[in-house]
Amino acid sequence: MRIVVLAGGIGGARFLRGLQRASPDADITVIGNTGDDIHLFGLKVCPDLDTVMYTLGGGINEEQGWGRTDETFHLKEELAAYGVGPEWFGLGDRDFATHIVRTQMLSAGYPLSAVTEALCDRWKPGVRLIPMSDDRVETHVAVTLPDSGERKVIHFQEYWVRLRASVPAEAVVPVGAEQAKPAPGVLEAIAEADVILFPPSNPVVSIGTILAVPGIREAIADAGVPVVGLSPIVGDAPVRGMADKVLAAVGVESTAAAVAEHYGSGLLDGWLVDTVDASTVERVEAAGIRCRAVPLMMSDLDAAARMAHEALTLAEEVRGA
């Protein structure tokens, strides 16, 4: 079975590990979000691609869900001693190596998709990981700074990591997305898929950014195969992260049903909500999306595998309908 998964960072990566457990023989292609990418110290950092690569390759810091295991921060400390920041973004020594290799290859003229493939040669994640685009896309967030009252547009990482989404996101803009082209292999993988899954990743800044690349949304809608998503919102709050902050920016309430409606029946065929949200199943089905309530807390690998199994079961149900 050929499965295509649109993935952001931690939620997407952990779901993918469950999917590999639930469907060990599946041929999985991951279309990774690159809107979180940031240039720091002259290096290109791709947090979501790296989170998927390290998680599936066994190199992730399990506790925080991003960055490398067994990490040290000497380089960051040395840079700080020169007054070179930002200090708010935690790049470790082992992680730096990835960004150096990536930047070197990009400078030599390789596209990001080829660079990602080369990095994955080391990590062997067991999936084909493709960035959504080889073109530069950067998510920016419009905020009003609490101290100065100044309205400013800042990089997504500054909003997420430095400000911890503590001020309302007034707008979320995937800068460059409109001009971006899907990376080689993205549209082909979608066209050849048997099932397309949206893991419980952020619907605005992860999956929303991937869908903002012209051609990807249309290809998924036209694929003619079941498209099934899992709600990142459980009991009206995000399972992890601060998805509610960016959902508000696009006028979507922070509920499992509202996120399903936001994707819409033109895109989604099936939607899984948590058992605590069972009362919303009817509302989602009324929107033309087949819905089931199952446990959606990815507390460990077994739980993630059960979620993946439920998603594949719902996909088969949709296919047979």
Query: Cα angle vertex 47, ends 91, 133, to 5°?
Result: 140
* Residue 160 or 263 having the CB closest to ligand FO1: 160
Stretch that binds ligand FO1, among 74-82, 84-92, 223-231, 311-319 (CB under 6 A): 84-92
For every residue of 237-265, DSSP letters joined together read EESSTTHHHHHHHTT--SSHHHHHHHH-T
Site string (95-114) toward ligand FO1, x via CB under 6 A: x-------------------
Structure-token pair, residue 23: 């469907």
Residue 161 interacts with ligand FO1 (CB under 6 A): yes or no = yes
Residue nearest ligand FO1 by beta-carbon distance: 9
Smallest gap, in angstroms, from Cβ of residue 238 to ligand FO1? 12
Q: Which of 2, 89, 100, 236 binds ligand FO1 (CB under 6 A)?
A: 89
Instruction: Specify the DSSP element, H or E, that contains 320.
Output: helix 301-320
User: Which residues are 270's β-sheet partners?
Assistant: 228, 290
Q: Is 271 exposed, middle or buried (0-12, 13-18, 19+ CB in 10 A)?
A: buried
Task: Quickly tell me which residue has 């949304």 as its tokens.
Answer: 217
Closest contact distance (angstroms) between CB of 66 and ligand FO1 is 4
In whole angstroms, give the CA distance from residue 10 to residue 20. 16
Which span sits near ligand FO1 by CB under 6 A: 83-91, 176-184, 225-233, 258-266?
A: 83-91
Binding segment (CB under 6 A) for ligand FO1, from list 43-51, 175-183, 278-286, 312-320: 43-51
Q: How far is the CB of 91 from ligand FO1 (least distance, A)?
A: 5
The closest alpha carbon to 238, from 314, 292, 160, belongs to 160
Contact by Cβ (8 Å): 29, 41: no
Dihedral sign from CA coordinates of 157, 159, 162, 166: negative
Residue 30: its H or E element: strand 27-32
The span of 122-130, 153-161, 216-224, 252-260 binding ligand FO1 (CB under 6 A) equals 153-161
Name which position in 20, 29, 55, 157 contacts ligand FO1 (CB under 6 A): 157
**71 vs 69: CA distance, rounded Å:** 5
Which of these segments, 90-98, 105-113, 132-140, 219-227, binds ligand FO1 (CB under 6 A)? 90-98
Q: Which of 32, 67, 86, 232 binds ligand FO1 (CB under 6 A)?
A: 67
Between residue 12 and residue 41, which ones bind ligand FO1 under the rule CB under 6 A?
Answer: 36
| Minimum separation from the CB atom of position 243 to ligand FO1 (A) | 10
User: What residues line the site for ligand FO1 (CB under 6 A)?
Assistant: 8-9, 36, 45, 47-48, 50-51, 66-67, 89-91, 95, 157, 160-161
